[in-house]
A and B are shown apart, each in its own frame.
Chain A
Amino acid sequence: MKILIFACKWCGLIGADGAGKKRIQLPTQFRVIPVECAALVEPDAVIRAFASGMTGVAVLGCHLGGCRFNHANHAAIKRLELLKTLLDATGIGGKRLLISFGTAHEDHQYAEVVKTFFDELEAMPSTAAWIS
């Protein structure tokens, strides 16, 4: 299980910080890359992550309308939804890309998002077909 999380500094990362302060125990197999805004997450980087063998990628951003960069995250969600379609078409599964905006700002919410994502990915078939 390898999960990569892009966390927006103003939402997901604050949740991650809170989860730490609350000592909420989480599975270890995820890595967080902090970004200034979810809009900075290039879909190509997400593809790169899958190509590097990630089981799942999560992009955590602020809720729509709550982005400090005006409407920056609107365009981000559109791009990533399009990528999901492509992942579905190739059978990798759009579910492996978690786009969660405005849901991980609080410690327990963040922990919940991460745990649920783990469980979901656990239930999915392995990506061995690509890797072999």
Chain B
Amino acid sequence: MLEKIKNIARTILSEKQADGVLGLIKGQWDIIQPHIFESPVEVDALVIEPKWLLAKMAMTVLRSSREGYRLAVVVRGCDERALTELVKRNQIEKERLVTLGIACTAEQAQACICDRPYPQKLDCGEAVAGVDTLSVESVKELLAGDGPERMEKWANILKRCIKCYGCRNSCPICVCVPCKLEDQVWVETGVIPAEVLSYHLIRALHLSDTCVACGACQEACPVNIPLMALQMSMREMLRETYGYEAGLDPDRKSPILYDLCKEPAAGQALPDWVNSLRKDDES
């Protein structure tokens, strides 16, 4: 698999499909780090493990490089979705981007609790089935219990927050400068523990329809807050109600932005009288 991806990368560079390939390199002292390969010879040192999200890096590279510079990126499923979201949000020009899709293994999918461990454009590897996120024991437990029980559980979890902003900084989709979470109006600054409710709910809600379930926020959290469980429930709601998943279709924007005639809801979460809008439901 590694050899195959190297060959594709070499072809891309030699055929000038892109000016550089962004991937991981095993460098001096066997340290693995992101690298832009610009000649086919260099590609020998390319590696694909471990999982390392490159979407935001690709955005930074494309922003600071010369006009017309084209970049190929070695992506996993989540990375590809993140890039699609960034293209949709006008952060990356689509024409300057090439992706080399690799699939994750079943073990990796399990570890990430990933429901789609493969890219849409798969160049290398076998796509394995995703995990049914909400039926995984650890997630189930977090979302279990009735109101007060769950509230106490989450209050205790979120109170661990030391407000390092790691979840925000590691997120491949968070691009706003300045960010609302730094605004005194929304989240009181200079206090620890953080104003947990506003910080975490605002963060989670802002990503509700753009979250690609890469899990970077959770991995970055030094106090192990299971942030993905919140995103999973909202992703599930969007999937059920609107049949929408972030990062799949580059031409479909979030259904949250459109009216109910253009992006009708399945009626799951919306009140029944929304149905009165449908043409065929005339009484």
A and B found bound together: yes
- Interface residues of chain A, those whose CB is within 8 Å of chain B, are 43-44, 47-48, 50-51, 63-65, 70-71, 74-75, 77-79, 81-93, 101-102, 124-125, 127, 129-130
Chain B residues with Cβ below 8 Å from A47 are 197-198, 201-202, 205
Chain A residues with Cβ below 8 Å from B274 are 64, 77
Chain A residues with Cβ below 8 Å from B205 are 43-44, 47, 82-83, 86
Number of B residues with CB within 8 Å of any CB on chain A: 48
Residue of B nearest to A45 (CB): B186
A82/B197 in contact, CB under 8 A: no
Q: Is B127 an interface residue (CB 8 A)?
A: no
Q: Name A78's contact: one of B145, B147, B153, B265 (CB within 8 Å).
A: B265
Measured CA separation A51–B185 after assembly (Å): 12
The answer to whether A91 and B149 touch (CB under 8 A), given A47-B197, A47-B198, A82-B208, is yes
16 A–B pairs (Cβ distance < 8 Å), ordered by A: A44-B180, A47-B201, A47-B202, A48-B186, A64-B260, A64-B273, A64-B274, A64-B276, A65-B277, A75-B257, A79-B256, A81-B270, A86-B233, A91-B148, A93-B147, A130-B196
A86/B261 in contact, CB under 8 A: no
Measured CA separation A93–B145 after assembly (Å): 12
Please classify the interface of chain A as helix (H, G, I), strand (E, B), loop, or mixed, using the class held by over half of its residues.
Answer: helix
Chain A residues with Cβ below 8 Å from B208 are 82, 86
Chain A residues with Cβ below 8 Å from B260 are 64, 71, 74, 77-78
Measured CA separation A65–B259 after assembly (Å): 10
- 8 Å CB interface, B168-225 against A: 180, 185-186, 195-198, 200-202, 204-205, 208-209
- In order of increasing CB-CB distance, the 6 nearest A-B pairs are A91-B150, A91-B151, A71-B259, A74-B259, A51-B198, A125-B148
> How many Å from the CB of B43 to the closest CB on chain A?
43
